[in-house]
Structure 1
């Protein structure tokens, strides 16, 4: 038989088998490993999806193929065809997703609609269908972000793998049930404090009013003594409290406690030149006198500083060793000089440290990010045990890690304290005086990914660990820019709120009498509370996944509602991919109420909600007359 006849026969057989559903031929972009390999790339990342799709200039790229975008990122798109099987399981009627990741994060669009944002450390997923059909074509687009600090840096789409999503996450409505008559103690008077390095760019009444919206009860600042002293022509020390006074006056406007991180070394006191001001003092007595004068000035001005934290991240090398001393010995000498100076001026001041970077561990194969943490934590405890030096609080910093690390840090520190009972008796509280999504510039710190991460670390980490004063770093981006640069602030330098600020507002709106919730879900978290004086009830709902999150459907049911809520109002506030999110739309920077209606009469609330990926939602029940327009 001629080759042409054989081809016709084989082709006809294949077509017949496909028509009968016996043979499935992979779509052109589908790989044997279950990934979608073929994408179109356009470097016009600053344009909307609609605009860029109408333009020429698209070219084909493969999965993991390097490319460069513009200074606004790039677009990838594909008509993704759902295969008959994923990992050996048929897709018919299943929820099917496409796991996605790229080097610097991005935005995922499905059928032309923004579905979620992701980061390379918290990969995303395009939910293609909640009830899939084999061969179904789904348009998927990804706006891939550029590197925050190097717009021309090469990157690739590193992951585009099909997955079947669990029914409980994508097809079923999760019941969240609360009994409003039950109690689980009280929430702290303030859930989030702030931390700022080098001072705020502006100390205006407008910025103070902003921070009052999130109920700040404590505010930690470092770099408070760096420019506080000079020498006159005769070599005498002359003190300048203008910078410290600006900070203390601002704390008065906020009505909050000031946590003063005694740092850094004034140039006139340093033992040797150091442009970062990380040198030890040439004379520890002069540092002690500086601390005395600062505490005395604050007290005499009527703005007493109650909390004094000694230095900043000395364990990471931010305090150089003095001559003849190890770095730890230098820190302990500085600790003694600080507390002695402060306590001379204010005998009831509270002193703490060691203000470690990355918790209580030394470097190890398991904890490559840690550095001298145990050395400094135990070193300070042992020093206070032997000498009787005060240790009123223990502080450290942590970035990036999941909530379990915060809990473990507190547990390990408590274990260390058992070896030093005299020192431990004086410890009143733990503080994490710097904490955020990343210690580097990163886009999630500008959008809802970082906001949801913050709430997740608080609900699953800080609160269970009993960390009394978490201080979110940074209060406000450096400089006065209104541009997103991946910096750490809750506010842009212009004062415009980011999504994380609005998430903090939702936390501040919660009452204080806690209502327990037994929900056990790795993505959904709940914090509920009631105001005993009025009956006002709030339920905070979080949807955050470490990787591959999906929009979750929930039913919130609250039983045994306070009778004072009958005839009242139901309000729902949300921070998500679009709402209360200046990164998405600068005109939507303020906190948004998405539902405001009269609450159902009776002792029970049943409310269906959809919780987008990386979202924070507050459901408020208000008594009649409260909150009416």
Structure 2
């Protein structure tokens, strides 16, 4: 998170909108029909951030394929698996490029593919060939940079939910994601809310009090995580409209006095600098606000937010030049071009670009940065997950684990952070948890039990430091079934994460369709050294390593009993699909047959003995 150079302050003239790429579209749409899905491929366009896949059913009009993510439907690139089409239906596809996420329909729709008929039969087999002797580069781990969290003042709570302490439970979850997933930072959401008492006025004069923030940081420090300071919301005593609450602790109104807001930010940063020192503070970061494009989080205009960004970023830079600051922290990848246009003119510091998206892998915003002469500026997706909806069943599902693996694989090497929202189901902004399994945002449940998305990240964290070459072939290869192979050159351990998934959340309600998407996989690993190997295969699927399945077997309804809590904790590990075996590769080659149901994620490790 080292700060990048920023331009000198400009005169304050309005920024002219940056010209995006000229109109173009993918003109060679290639389709392949598999059992239960149609795979769509095309050649990427320079400058595109993503693409919207359109389908025509039976010769009818084209419409965007809606995979049910509840947010931006564009994907960052090809290929795409459409698992929502009914077998027997004749369909055609076309692709629209997205250059500016604020105007996803602005690009031209390309020519249609040849018509194809979806089917319900087929071989349903995929071959995955991995060459342990062909490294292709480092394994990039975008989950490590940060994780999301409920407002960290919850760390101070003595309340209990489901019989579990909220503050201690959140701290335990943050410790676990640091210890087991390698996560380095946590997004400190809503840091300036009134629950921490940072601001009041006495006889009209501002009083700043950071003892509440200090108390939170004292509890956070033992978890091993550093904070990304999300500077929101406005204290009531400073708000233009104190009645506009986000929560009881936060106000979504702009400040009534920009100088006093800047002074509050500057004093906070100077306080933290004195508390932890420059070397430590430059490993933190500041994000300006949260989702100012949504009325529920920001009642001002976009111009008000841009002023908020300028005032805040300059106050941060003046108080600690080494502390990175960024934004705009918008929902659904909005305001990227106007935000970059603005800071180009205002000269406000921008050390990283941040935004949010749900239900799809993150778009590729590197072309936007390049258009603004900011190539290399870190991209931090500071909120991301399968659904923007709290209490959504997909949040607890195995399908969400495959979604996480796909997103991390696609983002690796092009983003600095893809932060899962959130670490723990200890979350109250939209209502406290009513039951153990309630569709909460957390990677970990109340009680600190791993949900499927957690296990996906746990498996990815087991990858070695070097990525290996791989080739996938067969029905759904590279669209449903994906692989991320690796090796540790120091030990020779080969680790491969494989998964079967789809972006289409509708398969959760279509059991017959879901069964058609099961796949048999033949994993062939070559280039192995001489000697014997331990082969271990651990798996997550609907019945294996799945918290919901364990809770169902134990008869959990609502909150667990004491005996059920014990049973859940005893099962809180990633289970072996079969007992580990010792094998000797023939000519440095092993062939391992696997079954990957839809959805599932597997970790296969070959460890020299």
TM-score per shorter chain, which class?
Answer: 0.5 to 0.7
Q: CA distance change for structure 1 residues 417 and 235 in 2, over 3 Å: closer, same or farther?
A: same
1:601 to 581, 584, 607: 584
Q: Who is 1:275 aligned against? A: 245
**Distance in 2 separating the partners of 1:255 and 1:429:** 23
Question: What is the rounded CA distance, in whole Å, between the counterparts of 2:218 and 2:399 in structure 1?
Answer: 33
How far has the Cα of 1:182 moved from its partner? 0.6
The residue that corresponds to 1:33 in the other structure is none
545, 559, 566: which is aligned to 1:580? Answer: 545
Q: How does 1:494-513 map to 2 (within 5 A)?
A: 494-513=447-466
Distance 1:463 1:209 in 2: 24
What secondary structure sits across from 1:504 in the alignment?
Answer: helix
Between 1:504-513 and 1:243-252, the stretch displaced more is 243-252
Residue of structure 2 in register with 1:453 after alignment: 403
Alignment of 1:556 with 2:523, yes or no, is yes
Q: Tell me if structure 2 keeps the 8 A contact 1:358–1:396.
A: yes
Whether 1:428 aligns to 2:380 is: no
User: What is the alpha-carbon distance in structure 1 between the residues aligned to residue 411 and residue 304 of structure 2?
Assistant: 31
1:104-503 equivalences in 2 (<5 Å): 164-169=119-124, 173-189=125-141, 191-192=143-144, 193-199=146-152, 200=154, 201-203=166-168, 206-211=172-177, 212-227=179-194, 228-231=197-200, 233-249=202-218, 251-273=220-242, 274-276=244-246, 277-302=251-276, 304=281, 306-318=284-296, 320=298, 327-359=301-333, 373=334, 376-401=335-360, 403=361, 406=362, 409-410=363-364, 413-421=365-373, 424=374, 428-440=377-389, 441-459=391-409, 461-463=410-412, 466-477=414-425, 478=427, 479=432, 482-503=435-456
**Aligned residues of 1:482 and 1:492 also touching (Cα < 8 A):** no
Structure 1 residues 572 and 283: alpha-carbon distance in aligned structure 2, compared to 1, 3 A threshold: same
Larger relative CO (CA 8 A, sep 6+): 1 or 2? 2
Rounded Cα–Cα distance in structure 2 between residues aligned with 1:510 and 1:247? 33
Aligned-residue offset at 1:334: 0.8
Structure 1 residues 319 and 536, CA, compared in 2 at 3 Å: closer, same or farther? same
Aligned residues: 436
Specify whether residues 214 and 235 from structure 1 end up closer, same or farther in structure 2 by C-alpha distance, changes over 3 A only: same
**After alignment, is 179-188 or 293-302 more displaced?**
293-302
- Shift of residue 553 of structure 1? 0.9
Task: Work out the CA distance in 2 between the residues paired with 1:242 and 1:517.
Answer: 53
Q: Are the equivalent residues in 2 in contact too, given 1:229–1:268 (CA < 8 A)?
A: no
Q: Distance in 2 between matches of 1:562 and 1:269?
A: 66
1:540 counterpart = 2:487: no
Are 2:131 and 2:525, in contact at CA under 8 Å, matched by a contact in 1? yes
**Conserved? CA contact 1:599–1:621, under 8 Å:** no
Paired with 2:212 and 2:464, the residues of 1 have a C-alpha distance of 36
Q: RMSD across aligned C-alpha pairs, in angstroms? A: 2.9
Q: Secondary structure of the equivalent of 2:470?
A: coil
Q: What's the CA shift for 1:293?
A: 2.2
The residue aligned with 1:530 is 487
- Whole-angstrom CA distance in 1 between matches of 2:299 and 2:200: 24
Secondary structure, counterpart of 1:268 in structure 2: helix
Aligned 8 A contact 2:252 2:299 in 1: no
Structure 1 contact 328–379 (Cα < 8 Å) conserved: no
CA contact (8 A) 1:492 1:498 kept: yes
Question: How far apart are the structure 2 equivalents of 1:269 and 1:194?
Answer: 29
Counting only pairs closer than 5 Å after superposition, residues 18-167 of structure 1 correspond to structure 2 as 164-167=119-122
How many Å separate the matches in 2 of 1:517 and 1:262? 43
**Structure 1: unaligned runs, 5 residues or longer:** 1-86, 88-102, 105-120, 127-161, 360-372, 625-629
Q: Tell me: CA distance 1:540–1:203, structure 2 relative to 1, closer, same or farther (3 Å).
A: same
2:452, 2:297 → 1: CA distance? 35
Asked whether the 8 Å contact 2:142–2:412 carries over to 1, the reply is no
Displacement of 1:308: 1.0
- Specify whether residues 249 and 568 from structure 1 end up closer, same or farther in structure 2 by C-alpha distance, changes over 3 A only: farther
- Given the superposition, is the C-alpha separation of residues 344 and 194 from structure 1 closer, same or farther in structure 2, using an over 3 Å criterion? same
TM-score by length of 1: 0.64
Cα displacement string for residues 207-245 of structure 1 (whole angstroms, at most 9, x for unaligned residues):
344222222123223201113423254444333434433
Question: Following the alignment from structure 1 to structure 2, what is the Cα–Cα distance between the partners of residues 218 and 301?
Answer: 18
TM-score (norm 2): 0.66
The aligned residue for residue 38 of structure 2 is: none
> 2:174·2:225 contact (CA, 8 Å) conserved in 1?
no
